[in-house]
Amino acid sequence: MRYLKNVLLLSGFTAALAILCGCKTAEGAEGPGVSSHGALHVDGAALKDEKGNTMVLRGTSSHGITWYPRYLNGGAMETLAGAGANVQRIAMYTEPHSAYIENPEQSLDYLYMGIESALSADMYAIADWHILKDGNPNEYVEEAVLFFDEISRHYGDNPAILYEICNEPNGDTSWEDIRSYADKVIPVIRANAPGAVILVGTPKYCTDFSGPIEKPLEYGNIMYTMHRYIDVSEEKACENHLIESIVESGVPVFVSEWGTSVGEQAYLQDGGPGSGAITYQENARPFIDYMKEHGISWTAWSLSNKDEAHSMLKSDCQKYSGWTEEDLTDFGILIFSAFR
């Protein structure tokens, strides 16, 4: 059978359910979280823990926290951690309505709630300054400086916090624009959290790595973010040319956002993934396998019930934690099975 729910990784999901039921993990006493691995650092192209071991973070990204804050509760983070996730990315949009620029106090409330929920579940947390419509991060650089000063001052050297300083630079934003922005923001973080890992976006929605390859930033503990959405409307496994070229270059990469998409014609024909569009989520398996083979950390988009191909929860799911297979989309099943 081609359909994920009938064929894909039932053993992996069964293992995740066993963990949720309180069964012992395969790792034994040493788990995947902060208490076992401590402060992270970047060594060459690899992310490593405080003992010098290669560290792989796997988890989910929230959707915009202003619109989907309910999935950042403590029970949700415990559910993810129980399934094997060890990181949560908290996407704090800068724009449009009700996001940080318009409503900073509420945005910060949700961000802190998400971070604290992740910490309570022994997970790492990524504070994501989620630019998108404001394609050039310099548009709100003054606000970004104040934001990262507050967050890094609050958490200081807490080993669990990573900082993603610009989600998806796009439009005509150049690598030099991003370098200029980073030179204003990174020193502020470093003043408060000298050893924190910082994630830096790249041009063209985090798909153009020519800048970091040719002229990387002159700071330690920096990784560059790659984003990817895999069209699963056709029965054809994805290829990995971009990430292969990044790995070959030796640039430290963190896939801070990835998911599946449905081709436009399939979407229009079927009315969207929530109305029965045929998708082949297993086509994304080569990407997951590649990241696993090369020890690449990732967070998948998104932990929400929004009616789109890359949501992990079904649009009619009303549960905010303790999800079972029946609550998850095909993509959600794929991601939960990939945590281990």
Active site residues: 168, 257
Q: How far apart are CA 92 and CA 129, in angstroms?
A: 6
Q: Which residues contact 200 (CB under 8 A, 6 or more apart)?
A: 164, 165, 166, 178, 182, 212, 217, 222, 223, 224, 225
Residue whose token pair is 């930033």: 217
Torsion angles phi and psi, residue 163, rounded to 5 = -120, 120
Q: Position of tokens 């300083």?
A: 165
Closest CA to 127 of 115, 139, 116, 119: 115
Q: Residue 209 and residue 127: Cα distance in Å, rounded?
A: 22
Query: Using CA atoms, how far apart are residues 289 and 176, in angstroms rounded to an integer?
Result: 33
CB 162 within 8 A of CB 195: no
Give CA angle at 234 (233, 239), nearest 5°: 105
Q: Tell me if the bond preceding 302 is cis, omega within 30° of 0.
A: yes
**How far apart are the C-alpha atoms of 19 and 161, rounded to whole Å?**
25
Residue type, 9: L
- Give me the residue label for tokens 């998400």: 114
Of 151, 61, 152, 137, nearest in space to 101 by CA: 137
List C-alpha distances in Å: 331 to 115, 176, 235, 239, 258: 24, 36, 15, 18, 11
Residues 215, 212: Cα–Cα separation, whole Å:
5
3-state secondary structure of 319: coil
The two tokens of residue 107 are 């945005």
Torsion of CA 190, 193, 197, 200, to 10 degrees: -40
